[in-house]
Amino acid sequence: MKRSYGIITIDEDRCQGCVNCIMSCRTEAIRIYEGKARILTNRCIICGKCFRDCPENAITAKTHGLEDLKNYKYTVVIPSSSLYAQFPGEGVANKVLCALKVLGFDDVYEEAVGAEIASIATQEYLKGYRGPYPVISSLCPAIIRLIQIRFPNFVDQINPIELPAEIVAKELRKVKAQQLSLKEEEIGIFYLVPCPAKMVAVAKTETKEKSYINGAISISDIYGQLLAAMREVREEENLQKATGTGIGWAVKGGEIRELERQRCLRSDMENIVVDGIKNVINVLDEIENGKLRNIEFIEARACPEGCVGGALTVVDRYVARGRIRKLMMEDERKSMIEREEVVKRFKQGDYFFEKGLKPKPFASRLDPDPVKAVEKMKLRDEIHSSLPGLDCGACGAPNCRALADDVVQGRAEITDCIFKWRERVKDLAEEVMEWAQKKPHSLPKRGR
Amino acid sequence: MEEKVLEWDYEINGKDFRNAGKVSSKVKEILKELGFDPDFVRRVAIASYEAEMNVVCHAERGVLHLTISPEELRIVVKDKGPGIQDIELAMQEGYSTASPEIREMGFGAGMGLPNIKKNVDKLNIASTVGEGTVVDMLIKPSSIREFG
Ligand SMILES: Nc1ncnc2c1ncn2[C@@H]1O[C@H](COP(=O)(O)OP(=O)(O)O)[C@@H](O)[C@H]1O
Ligand SMILES: [Mg+2]
């Protein structure tokens, strides 16, 4: 049986109910219930870490596939830059783009071009910025969700520039419709993504009414077909327009590298590149405490090494990072993007979120009613201190504290803890013994 | 009414820079779980962090005592240490007696106590030289929440 949680699906026939996923989840969003993993969706940031850590590959995400192309008169694919890193060899980038056409897309347009535009927009935004620091990168949707849930204070400090793929899609839809004399809705724009976070960013965008992208397809889903298609590419059309500047966004540090190269970061402040959810939580925590100060910009990535470490990619993230870095270093072609044009459109407000992001602090709240929240916290702490503190996971929660939490929220029972359960059995056994030794007064004190 | 008060005690060790900041992180987490508004949480986080760091930087050891009652939040940080000779002077922006080593670690800008003052509603510092210091802070949520 398959159980779905938004775009995420757990194949319960495969799930063995082991503790790998519950222990790996940094937001403690998974529990084992009746032998199967279940997701607490209000805590989940859809990063996909559990996809990788599940030994049975039971956790997946899907919204669209190649079968959806037929619903449109004309289709365009926007490949995420991490795609180039999935194949070895020099000059492979253009060949991959050509292979995408073999798979049935009518046109290909790179996310990395959008990244080059987004970078210029970000540079302009930082130049005129007068709000509180640090400004936090908006390129990782999992991090945006983490901030909405756990660091609601920082929501207004997220760089309000759209995802590169959305910037590209918005433009493409208009231009293609005109060129081909089609209605805008007859054009299907698909985004080839490295992670489930980008999938939801499209399916359930929070920064505009509706995404300019029609569907997201996972890189890993079409990897095999793409490999085969590459062998069919005879004559290469020149499709690669992006340069190392934009492609670099696929790896951690890529975004800041360009800001540094353009000398748009302030010399009297610092900037941070941080990857991995746990590390991001630590950094944001220290900033919130006032411990880390004087930071202008944070590039935070949920996946170690950046998007090349996404759960829907195929190649080892370290190898992939190496490949992208090669492209960044070797590729010194001049960007096709005209800075003046981008700056002009930035000033018109073209690249901004159309709708402000909202905080979602209720996810970490014990109860909407403050009185109840206080009561629950008292009880939770009591229960927590009565638990063995081994954080073994056998109860189905990732640690003793989380179990105590689940008990007060009515999601679990204290005897789910095997140690507590044994205590209860022992108490019961002792009570039974006590009763067994009792005799009616009618019988003599000794004997029988 | 009485049972609606929540209290916690956390120990702070002087010169323990590795764990510095953990106590204020815990305070912050509690407030988030109770559903206080983000700006209030931020103010409390900054004030408790600075008070915690002053124990780490300047004293031997201390305890942070957190009380949450229906009307307000109170944090008392009490330490055993050298005490403060001239509290008025210590409150001035930029005044610091921190050693060069502590400054090298990025602390000792002399902004701690002034920052606390800015973020709390009521601040009371009592200190005995050679014995220790008590920093008593009251912080009120911007919109006072009903605890019932
Ligand atoms: N708990 C304390 N014990 C002893 N001295 C303290 C304590 N807190 C503050 N001080 C004194 O007050 C000064 C100013 O404190 P503060 O404004 O926090 O700046 P900083 O900690 O950066 O020096 C300190 O340098 C120190 O001399
Ligand atoms: Mg200080």
pLDDT in tens, A317-336: 999 999 999 998 876 678 88
Out of B56, B57, B125, mutate this one to test ligand 1's pocket (max ligand atoms within 8 Å of CB): namely B57
Reported as a pLDDT band with limits 50, 70 and 90, residue B143 is: low
Class of domain A1-61: alpha beta
DSSP notation for A282-313: HHHHHHHHTSS-SEEEEEEESSTTSGGG-TT-
Q: Which residue has the tokens 């109770």?
A: B34
Report the separation in Å between the CA atom of B116 and the middle of ligand 2, taken as the mean of its atom positions.
9
In this prediction, residue A335 carries a pLDDT of: 87
Q: What is the mean predicted confidence (pLDDT) over A287-311?
A: 94
Task: Give the range of the structural domain holding residue B80, as residue numbers without chain letter.
Answer: 6-139
A290: nearest CB among B45, B145, B148 = B45
Q: Within the 122-141 window of chain B, which residues sit less than 8 Å (CB to CB) from chain A?
A: none
Chain A contact for B98 (CB, 8 A cutoff): no
User: Ligand 1: does its nearest atom lie under 6 Å from the Cβ of B119?
Assistant: no
- A117: nearest Cα among A108, A106, A125, A129: A125
CA distance A386 to chain B (A): 17
* A153, A285, A378 member nearest B25 (Cβ): A285
Segment A372-397, tens digit of pLDDT? 888 899 899 999 999 999 999 999 99
- Ligand 1 contacts CB of residue B58 (under 6 A): yes
Q: Please list, in sequence order, all residues whose beta carbon lies within 8 angstroms of the beta carbon of residue A133, skipping any fewer than 6 positions away.
A: A157, A269, A294, A295, A296
| Mutational test site, ligand 1, from B84, B101, B123, B127, max ligand atoms within 8 Å of CB | B84
At B44 the pLDDT is 95
pLDDT at B131: 97
Q: What is the DSSP string of B92-133?
A: STT-----HHHHHTT---S-HHHHHHHH-SEEEEEEETTTEE
- Return the percentage of chain A with pLDDT > 70, whole number: 99
Residue A118 has pLDDT above 80, yes or no: yes
Q: What's the pLDDT score for residue A440?
A: 82
For residues A228-240, average pLDDT: 93
Given this model, what pLDDT does residue B148 score?
Answer: 33
Q: Give the Cα separation of A284 and A305 in Å (integer).
A: 18
Per the CB < 8 A criterion, the answer to whether A195 and A142 are in contact is yes
Query: Residue B28's domain is classified under what CATH number?
Result: 3.30.565.10
Mind telling me how many Å the CA of B39 is from chain A's nearest CA? 7
Select from A326, A317, A311 the least CA-distant residue to A86. A317
Q: Convert the pLDDT of each residue in A43-68 to its tens digit.
A: 999 999 999 999 999 999 999 999 99
- The residue ranges of every structural domain in chain A are 1-61, 66-347, 366-448
The model's pLDDT over B107-118, given as tens digits with 9 standing for 90+, comes to 889 999 999 999
| Tokens coding A234 | 């005879």
Tokens describing residue A409: 């929220």
**Total domains, chain B:** 1
Does residue B146 lie within any of the structural domains? Answer: no
Residue with tokens 């999992």: A142
pLDDT greater than 50 at residue B145: no
The band of B39, judged by pLDDT with boundaries at 50, 70 and 90, is: confident
Tell me whether 0.90 is exceeded by the ipTM: no
The pLDDT assigned to A331 comes to 64
Is the CB of B41 less than 8 angstroms away from the CB of A285?
A: no
B144 located within any domain: no
Residue B2 clears pLDDT 60, i.e. is over it = no
Give yes or no for residue B14 CB within 6 A of ligand 1. Answer: no
Cβ-Cβ contacts under 8 Å for A199 (sequence gap 6 or more): A7, A46, A61, A63, A193, A216, A218, A312
User: Is the CB–ligand 1 distance for residue B115 below 6 Å?
Assistant: no
Does A358 touch chain B if contact means CB atoms closer than 8 Å?
Answer: no
Judge whether B55 lies within some domain.
yes
Atom 8 (ligand 1) nearest CA: B54
Q: Is B58 part of a structural domain of the chain?
A: yes
**Nearest residue of B to residue A282, measured between CA atoms:** B25
Q: Is the CB of B112 under 6 A from ligand 1?
A: yes
Q: Which residues contact A50 (CB under 8 A, 6 or more apart)?
A: A21, A24, A25, A30, A37, A59
B123-137 pLDDT per residue, tens: 999 999 999 999 999
Q: What is the pLDDT of residue A369?
A: 84
Interchain CB distance below 8 Å, A364 and B30? no
Is A444 in a helix, a strand, or coil? coil
In 10 A of CB B46, how many CB atoms?
Answer: 22
Is the per-residue pLDDT at B1 higher than 70? no
**CA-based end-to-end distance of chain B:** 8
* Reported confidence tier of residue B80, pLDDT bands at 50, 70, 90: very high
Helix (H/G/I), strand (E/B), else coil: A291: coil
Out of A123-127, A288-292, A351-355, B64-68, pick the least confident. Answer: A288-292
Separation CA A429–CA A427 (nearest Å): 5
Give residue B3's pLDDT band: very low, low, confident or very high (50, 70, 90): low
Give the number of the atom of ligand 1 that is nearest the alpha carbon of residue B111.
17
For residue A166, pLDDT over 60 is answered with yes
Distance B43 CA to ligand 1 centre (A): 19
For chain A, the residue count is 448
Give pLDDT, residue B147.
Answer: 43
pLDDT in the model for residue B4: 67
